[in-house]
Chain A
Amino acid sequence: MTRKLLLHNEHIPGINTLDVYRKNGGYASVEKALKTMTPDEVTEEVKKSGLRGRGGAGFPAGMKWSFLDRKSEKPRYLVCNADESEPGTFKDRYLMEKIPHLLIEGMITSSYALGANTSYIYVRGEYMYVIAILEKAIEEAYAAGLLGKNILGTSYSLDLYVQPGGGAYICGEETALLESLEGKRGNPRLKPPFPAIAGLYSSPTVVNNVETIAAVVPIVNQGGDEYAKIGIGKSTGTKLISASGHINKPGVYEIELGLPVEEFIYSDEYCGGIWKGRKMKAVVAGGSSVPILPTDLILKTAKGEPRLMTYESLADGGFITGTMLGSGGFIVLDETACIVHHLYTFARFYHHESCGQCSPCREGTGWMEKVIHRIEHGHGMMSDIDLLVDVAKKIEGNTICPLGDAAAWPVASAIRHFREEFEYHVRNPEKVKNPKHFELEPFVSEKMALA
């Protein structure tokens, strides 16, 4: 049975209310931190835990906290990134909707550690009903003396506010998020300076994902060393995985890092196998940005070792035969799925979401969308396939923020692993004009058929 640290109480009726949440051990980390620990001791526990940013980049959270400019005279801010917009990712929404107080508790404890007296939760605007849930929970916390002046009778004070976004994927990039929170367009900033030095209102700022902040609660309660015992190597603790696509049981699952990918897909405890009794074709393991992998490479690494749900194992083989854990947006495609069609929706997504600031991304994402569109609809040429690889290469690494990379990686990997399908589209324009072409007749790779 998996140990759960975040969702262990999700089944309790009324856990979204302060009373029930507190009766089940809620806000213990606030009591412990504010009354028995110094801010630096809290940071030290987060460092010891090995917790890595759960938004997608996987950067060690304790280290990020330690970069915060503590000598500055300016106020410090903690900003929670709840702009969850990576296709395939819906874990933060689930957590905020089911257990809003877990995020608020994490915000108080983390703000204390960072010395922030004002903190914001930036939630994507489309989650307006989640914002209402959070605001109600925050109101309860103020009434109980957990927010506001002199929290629980200590000298520490914190105001916490929720900020709605306006519908822009780019605001999940931390400096774009800060721009947006300042009431501007979500154009990412040039770095350095990093937010830890000059973030919100040019003040020292830490931006963390919802799940990262929620994980601070069990880390403070149990101690960082205890947390680090879960998982493998540098992938410590538990992770929320958003499972979607052609599986029997889509949903949010909390796993211990280190779970075999095969078990995650086929066990009834998690995805419950592929729907309609079909076979699996491919998996996008960490949200739309990460490289897509065919079945053989997602279940086993190129060396033949079982692939595990860890940052390292999923990345084994680099981008040639590996992928990334990313945000944990786990999208499964069955044998009838068309890789080109699927990729087209991602290319359209990135074109739509490019902020337009850097020309390689602004122009390149549009080209990629158009070229993939014409291949998918039976108007492509063989040279288009290499053209796509070329455009992707010219975007990657040439933009201010990682959106360009995020747009390039899915294209490059789809062609790397499924080139035959692109070629099939070019050779069989009449067949692919039917949008359901592979549902009628699943594509069989010649390479696979020979094997």
Chain B
Amino acid sequence: MEGQVSKVEFSPETKALVERIIKRYPAGKQKSALLPLLHLAQAEFNGWLSVPAMDYVASILNIKPIEVYEVASFYTMYNMKPVGKCLIEVCRTGPCMLRGAEDIVEHIEKRLGIKEGETTSDGLFTLKTTECLGSCGTAPMLQCGADYYENLTNEKVDTLLEKLKTVKDHSTYMRSNRQEI
């Protein structure tokens, strides 16, 4: 089932990366690696952080699971529930609102037949609104995975949604699925 994690263990490549990340901090300060590791876990385990995934990260860093839960739930980039393959996040704070972000959200809602916060029944798209993503000069904009799509119009959004349908991997912050629009 989508979102279920069968085996919670990083790939050998990710494990090697985790080792390198932990070395960035002084001995005994390995907890500093928590935020980077949660990004990696989300990317590797279907785009969200299940309890087993968080427990796994806790065991790597030799910290208590609660130390992971409290951090994961504090930061907005960590998904505490399963999300669609393409998590679309539309910025709607002041400057984006002034340039028409709310119309873009409405257009995407119509195109996908879902409301903000929902996932399409095929599990492909989740739509969220978000607060300022630092792209005010190229508003309106949305983020999908690591990629920013800027200066949006309804037409550009249509083209993008069409292209994103072909995406095979979860578009997480660690992975670019950049599609030119």
* Chain A residues near B (Cβ < 8 Å): 75, 84-90, 92-93, 118, 120, 124-129, 132, 159, 161, 163-169, 180-186, 201, 242-246, 250-252, 284, 288, 329, 331, 333, 337, 341-342, 345-346, 348-349, 352-353, 355, 435
Contact at B173–A93, with CB atoms within 8 Å?
A: no
* CB nearest to B89 among chain A residues: A126
Q: Is B80 an interface residue (CB 8 A)?
A: no
Q: Is the CB of B136 within 8 A of A87?
A: yes
B134 engages A124 (CB within 8 Å): yes
If A182-B32, A186-B74, A201-B26 touch, whether A346 touches B134 (CB-CB below 8 Å) is: no
Of the four ranges (under 10, 10 to 19, 20 to 34, 35 or more), the interface on chain B belongs to 35 or more
Which residue of A87, A125, A184 contacts B95 across the interface (Cβ within 8 Å)? Answer: A87
Binds A, one of B6-14, B97-105, B114-122, B156-164: B97-105
In the complex, the answer to whether B93 meets A201 with C-beta atoms within 8 Å is no
The answer to whether B147 touches A129, judged by C-beta atoms less than 8 angstroms apart, is yes
Assess whether B71 is in contact with A90, with CB atoms less than 8 Å apart: no
What B residues does A355 contact at CB under 8 A? 74
Q: Closest 10 interchain pairs by CB?
A: A166-B75, A167-B77, A183-B34, A244-B136, A183-B31, A167-B76, A250-B137, A87-B132, A244-B95, A185-B74
The reply on B24 being an interface residue by CB < 8 A is: yes
- Chain B residues whose C-beta falls within 8 Å of the C-beta of A244 in the assembled complex: 95, 98-99, 136-137, 139
Quick one: closest B residue to A201, CB to CB? Answer: B29
Q: Is the CB of A125 within 8 A of B134?
A: no
List residues of chain B with CB within 8 A of the CB of A331.
94-95, 98, 136
The answer to whether A163 touches B97, judged by C-beta atoms less than 8 angstroms apart, is: no
Cα distance, A61 to B17, chains bound together (Å): 35
User: Do B71 and A337 touch (CB < 8 A)?
Assistant: no
CB distance from A294 to the nearest CB of B (A): 16
**Contact call B131/A243, Cβ cutoff below 8 A:** no
Distance between Cα atoms of A342 and B96 in the complex (Å): 10
Query: Do B131 and A342 touch (CB < 8 A)?
Result: no
Give every chain B residue within 8 A of A163 (Cβ-Cβ). 24, 32, 35-36
Given A129-B176, A183-B33, A244-B136, A165:B95 Cβ within 8 A: no
Residues of chain B contacted by A251 (CB below 8 angstroms)? 137
Chain B neighbourhood of A181, CB < 8 A: 32
Note all chain A residues with C-beta closer than 8 A to B97. Answer: 341-342, 345
Q: Could you list 15 examples of A-B contacts with CB < 8 Å?
A: A90-B137, A125-B75, A126-B77, A126-B133, A126-B134, A129-B148, A165-B35, A183-B61, A242-B137, A245-B99, A250-B139, A345-B93, A352-B76, A352-B131, A435-B102
Q: Is B56 an interface residue (CB 8 A)?
A: no
A288 and B94 in contact, given A244-B136, A244-B137 (Cβ under 8 angstroms): yes
Partner of A129, one of B36, B78, B131, B146: B146
In the complex, what's the smallest C-beta–C-beta distance from A350 to chain B, in angstroms? 9
Assess whether A85 is in contact with B173, with CB atoms less than 8 Å apart.
no
Quote the shortest CB–CB distance from B24 to chain A (angstroms): 4
In the complex, A92 Cα to B137 Cα: how many Å?
13
Would A183 and B146 be within 8 Å (CB), given that A168-B74, A329-B136 are in contact?
A: no
Proximity string of chain B (69-85) to chain A, C-beta cutoff 8 Å, 1 when within and 0 when not: 01100111110000000
Let me know if B95 and A166 touch, CB within 8 A.
no
Q: Does any Cβ of A come within 8 Å of B38's Cβ?
A: yes
Complex partner residue of A288 from B39, B70, B93, CB under 8 angstroms: B93
Residue in B26, B31, B39, B136 whose beta carbon sits within 8 Å of that of A242 in the complex: B136
CA distance A184 to B34 in the complex (A): 8
Give complex CA distance A435, B94 in Å. 14
Tell me which of A126, A164, A284, A288 has the highest count of chain B C-beta atoms within 10 A of its own C-beta.
A126
Collect the chain A residues with CB atoms within 8 Å of residue B38's CB. Answer: 166
CB contacts (< 8 Å) of A88 on chain B: these are: 94-95, 132, 136
A244 to B39, CA, bound (A): 30
Q: Does B153 contact A (CB under 8 A)?
A: no
CA distance A181 to B147 in the complex (A): 24
Give min CB distance, B181 to chain A, whole Å.
16
Tell which of B33, B67, B131 touches A349, judged by Cβ atoms closer than 8 Å: B131
Asked whether B132 lies within 8 Å of A86 as measured between CB atoms, the reply is yes
The one of A243, A252, A349 in contact with B93, judged by C-beta atoms closer than 8 angstroms, is A349
Chain B 31-57 per-residue mask, 1 if CB under 8 angstroms from chain A, else 0: 111111011000000000000000000
- B35 near A180: Cβ-Cβ < 8 Å: yes
Cβ distance B154 to chain A, nearest Cβ, rounded Å: 16
Residue of B76, B94, B99, B174 with most partner-chain A CB within 10 A: B94
